[in-house]
Amino acid sequence: MTLADRLLRWLPRVLTALVCIVPLMAVAQQGIPMVNVKATTGGTQYSLTLQLLALMTALTLLPSLLLMMTSFVRIIVVLSLLRQALGTGQTPPNTVLVGLALFLSLFIMSPVLTSVYRDAAVPYMDNKVSAQQALSAAEKPIRAFMLAQTREDDLAAFMEISRKREVASPSEVPFTSLVPAFIISELKSAFTIGFLIYIPFVVIDLIVSSVLMSMGMMMLSPMMISMPFKLMLFVLVDGWGLIMGSLAASFVMS
């Protein structure tokens, strides 16, 4: 196994450290210092505990985990395409879209996170399993989620590109092939949903443009006239509820 395979294989296991943040903070309050102070002849030396080092490492990997191994990519791409289809410019702003995508991702990933906490974090905090066993248990639900969303042709393409041997079971698929295949599949799904969202708004643009052309108002921007009709249609059909519900239902849970 190459170094890249090992690094990517450890990525999902960092979620266990994230789930254990609160218990670690509680233990630290009970007497384990975050900084060790040691007096020497040359002065005073300060050293960080391993818990703090693991926590800082987990926080640095959190953005990559969020983008590569959860439902965040599909949701944020669909919301961005929806804003472009409405023609509202920067409304809603990026912060609103990212926050909405983040909390919807937490909602969709809640069964996976619950499984990680129940099967990996709790036994490890109760000293029933070792750290290696806890990390292996945390990997299983995340891998199962990614495999359920990944298209077989995308996974086969990356396996062929990387010249990996045929695997006997999904658990043997290397993360170097699974992660890019998962991302490509998520982008395909997001663009498919975005195409379906665009159709009614393009029809409104065509109708408004034809009416303005027939009335001789060629100097008037069709986008300025069609935007209120787009917003009215989106509100009347409860667009936000339909989009959120469709996105949540589009994820196949194994």
Domain ranges of the chain: 63-249
Burial class (CB in 10 A: 0-12, 13-18, 19+), 90: exposed
Is pLDDT of 88 > 70? yes
Task: Return the structure tokens found at 125.
Answer: 């905090």
pLDDT band per the 50, 70, 90 thresholds, residue 16: low
Q: Is the peptide bond before 92 cis (omega within 30 degrees of 0)?
A: yes
Q: What is the mean pLDDT of residues 238-250?
A: 87
What is the per-residue pLDDT across 90-111, written as a single tens digit (0 to 9) for each?
888 889 998 899 898 888 888 8
More confident residue, 174 or 187: 187
What is the per-residue pLDDT across 137-174, written as a single tens digit (0 to 9) for each?
877 888 888 888 888 888 888 887 877 667 777 677 77
Looking at residue 5, its pLDDT comes to 54
Is pLDDT of 197 > 50? yes
Lowest mean pLDDT across 32-41, 80-89, 194-203, 228-237: 32-41
Q: What is the mean pLDDT of residues 213-238?
A: 80
Mean pLDDT of the chain: 76
DSSP string, 48-116: E-HHHHHHHHHHHHHHHHHHHSSSHHHHHHHHHHHHHHHT-TT-S-HHHHHHHHHHHHHHHHHHHHHHH
More confident residue, 248 or 41: 248
